[in-house]
Amino acid sequence: MDLSRLQETNPLGRFYLKVPGSRKYDTYFQTIEALRPLLNSREWNETVTGYYINTGSNNMDTVRLSYFSSNDDAVRNCAESFCRQYNIVESQSPEVPHATRISEVYGGEELRFRRFLYLYTLIGLDIISADLLNARRLMATFRFQVMLSRQPYQPHFQRTFEMQSPAYNSLSAEQKEQFWLDLANWPNPPQVDWAHFIVNMILPGDFVGPNQWIYFLIQRPALSLVEINNIVINFGFQIRNG
């Protein structure tokens, strides 16, 4: 991991990838696992300066792999060769790399935002690999307890990140401090917060559908686990006490 390679002028491209099948959530996580050899490969990491992952369909079965690179031919050759070999399909046409400021509605700090997107993805990949169910529970309780009641984020996540994420543990003290500032960054309250991106990757999805984000604009008491379970049952899991 080399955050210093990211530049705010690198074009942004996207692939929409999935393993065969369309089982909500299951196919999404299976696709992430299938993509790990690509994401860990030297060829991929030499042709991109960074990347980030979100869900890529309303059915929550597709991985949207966004990447930054000035060498799109090399990226495309690398990704398409890998996908052919491992039977990963494109659920829709890829987005041709283009110059863009993706931070425009998220505070405008382009390089800082790109570094956060890359870093949350590496940490997210680690904790999904270590304990997927715990990672999903962590995001749900974050949204409906920690964030909703405006508690500090770091105590909620830190133990898991320290125990399960080599990417997090490889950061310097200064980089860790910056990551916690970035995770809690919410420069434009009518727009989703920066934490939305890691929630979207790991839950997957987020509780920000039509008119739902208004609910989070006002500080509210943390929900009980019973109340949260009534929501996340629609995401295919439950949270146990203890």
Last residue of a domain, one of 44, 66, 98: 98
Mean pLDDT of the chain: 93
Same domain, 13 and 124: no
Last residue of a domain, one of 43, 72, 98: 98
Condensed to tens digits (0 to 9), the pLDDT of residues 100-128 reads 999 999 999 999 999 999 999 999 999 99
For residue 6, give the amino acid letter: L
Domain range for 46 is: 7-98
Q: What is the pTM of this model?
A: 0.95
Predicted local confidence at residue 211, as pLDDT: 73
**pLDDT score of 179 more than 80:** yes
With respect to residue 70, please indicate whether it lies within any of the assigned structural domains: yes
Condensed to tens digits (0 to 9), the pLDDT of residues 51-85 reads 999 998 788 999 999 999 988 889 999 999 999 99
Average pLDDT over residues 203-211: 82
CA distances for 215 relative to 137, 147, 208, 210, angstroms: 20, 11, 9, 11
Identify whether the C-beta of residue 153 lies closer than 8 Å to the C-beta of residue 184.
yes
Predicted local confidence at residue 125, as pLDDT: 98
CATH number of the CATH domain containing 84: 3.30.70.1430
Stated as kind and residue range, the H or E segment containing 183 is: helix 173-183
Predicted local confidence at residue 21, as pLDDT: 81
Q: What is the DSSP string of 121-136?
A: HHHHHHHHHH-HHHHH
Distance CA 75, CA 49 (A): 11
Distance CA 81, CA 76 (A): 8
Q: How confident is the model at residue 15 (pLDDT cuts 50, 70, 90)?
A: very high
Distance CA 81, CA 98 (A): 22
Same domain, 123 and 217: yes
Predicted local confidence at residue 242, as pLDDT: 60
Same domain, 168 and 134: yes
Predicted local confidence at residue 135, as pLDDT: 97
With respect to residue 201, please indicate whether it lies within any of the assigned structural domains: yes
Predicted local confidence at residue 189, as pLDDT: 87
Predicted local confidence at residue 58, as pLDDT: 80
Condensed to tens digits (0 to 9), the pLDDT of residues 28-47 reads 999 999 999 999 999 999 99
Distance CA 207, CA 213 (A): 7
How many domains in the chain?
Answer: 2
Distance CA 53, CA 204 (A): 10
Same domain, 24 and 79: yes
6-42 burial code (b ≥16 CB/10 A, e <16): bebebebbbbbbbbeeeebbebbbbbbebbeebbeee
